[in-house]
Chain A
Amino acid sequence: DAKTTQPPSMDCAEGRAANLPCNHSTISGNEYVYWYRQIHSQGPQYIIHGLKNNETNEMASLIITEDRKSSTLILPHATLRDTAVYYCIVRVGGLTGGGNKLTFGTGTQLKVEL
């Protein structure tokens, strides 16, 4: 699996948009970009994933550059409960199973403050 690079920490004011960047310059054509987050003392939580088009769901938006070498996770209106470690992961294929593991880095610690 390709490796990703994320800033170790970021701060965001409550109510503002949180934009979390991720570099994945060696991503292959069949690798998807996934985002998970881990709130303290809990297991990671799936947020969103994409291949090359921008994606949006009820939690966040994912913007992938045209060359696919980087992406940005956007939390449009961050709240205190969004304080967590956010992991950007690239992996082959879009479906689970077949030993298709998740390779986590150290992620970005997002702190949302009043």
Chain B
Amino acid sequence: ETGVTQSPTHLIKTRGQQVTLRCSSQSGHNTVSWYQQALGQGPQFIFQYYREEENGRGNFPPRFSGLQFPNYSSELNVNALELDDSALYLCASSHPGNYGYTFGSGTRLTVV
């Protein structure tokens, strides 16, 4: 059984640019959530996708957007990057019948 994989592992972008982060969910999981974790803080919920539709969103501006594909993989897109967007971005997958989420190791985004 494969876990959650995220790519890339590290990324450096310039303020104002756009970035796309990718996530492959664990086999059999049809729900994907994205979290942002700033240094020294706990992860903060960005949004969740189920059956290719967003079905929950945290307190993040519209420049944070996402997609889920028929194979349940997902993308997180961030437009107009700001310095404060520098963080570890975590993807988690689950199945509605499960109790726990499986997290990937994250993408470390640095905005300069």
Contacts and interface: CB of A to CB of B under 8 A. Distances in A.
A43 B99 contact: no
A45 B4 CA distance: 12
Interface residues of A, number: 23
Interface residues of B, number: 31
28 contacts: A34-B100, A42-B105, A43-B90, A43-B92, A43-B103, A44-B90, A44-B101, A44-B103, A46-B99, A49-B100, A95-B97, A95-B99, A96-B95, A96-B96, A96-B98, A96-B100, A96-B101, A97-B50, A97-B94, A97-B96, A98-B55, A99-B55, A100-B56, A101-B45, A101-B48, A102-B35, A102-B92, A104-B35
Contacts of B99: 46, 49, 94-96
Interface of A: 34, 41-46, 49, 87, 94-107
A94 B45 CA distance: 18
A95 B42 contact: no
Contacts of B104: 43
B45 A43 contact: no
A103 B45 CA distance: 7
B2 interface: no
Q: Secondary structure of the A side of the interface? A: loop
Contacts of A103: 45
A104 to B, nearest CB: 3
B105 A95 contact: no
A46 B101 contact: yes
Nearest to A87: B42
Q: Lowest 4 A-B CB distances belong to which pairs?
A: A99-B56, A43-B103, A104-B42, A97-B96
Interface in B36-90: 40-45, 48, 50, 55-58, 90
B77 to A, nearest CB: 19
